[in-house]
Structure 1
């Protein structure tokens, strides 16, 4: 596990502290959960872009498959 130093304005730190307290967790855990969500979004976008690239130029083939599936 790694440790990082995060510099935040005092008001933002205070707001995060309040949020963490309201959720019954620590600021560290709150930031860990936020990082997990951001990474999940990044991974989903990356997968989407890769699939879109693989399908580039195959629109008509995809539409033909849909027409065939619909009968």
Structure 2
């Protein structure tokens, strides 16, 4: 585990402390949770971009598969 020094304005620090207190957690835990959410969002964006890159030029095939899935669901 690593330690990190973070410089915040006094006002922002007080607001974070109030938020953490209202949730019944420490500021450290709150910041850990926030970074987890931000990193998850970043990972999803990166995965989407990789998949989009792999799918370039394959839009027609994707539309065919969607039409096939719709036809199948309409039969059910």
Give the TM-score taking structure 1 as reference length. Answer: 0.93
What's the counterpart of residue 41 of structure 1? 41
Cα RMSD for the two superposed structures: 0.9
Size of the aligned set, in residue pairs, is 71
Partners of 2:21 and 2:68 in 1: CA distance = 55
Matched, 1:64 2:76: no
Give the TM-score taking structure 2 as reference length. Answer: 0.87
List, as ranges, runs of 4+ consecutive aligned residues in structure 1 with deviation greater than 4 Å. Answer: none
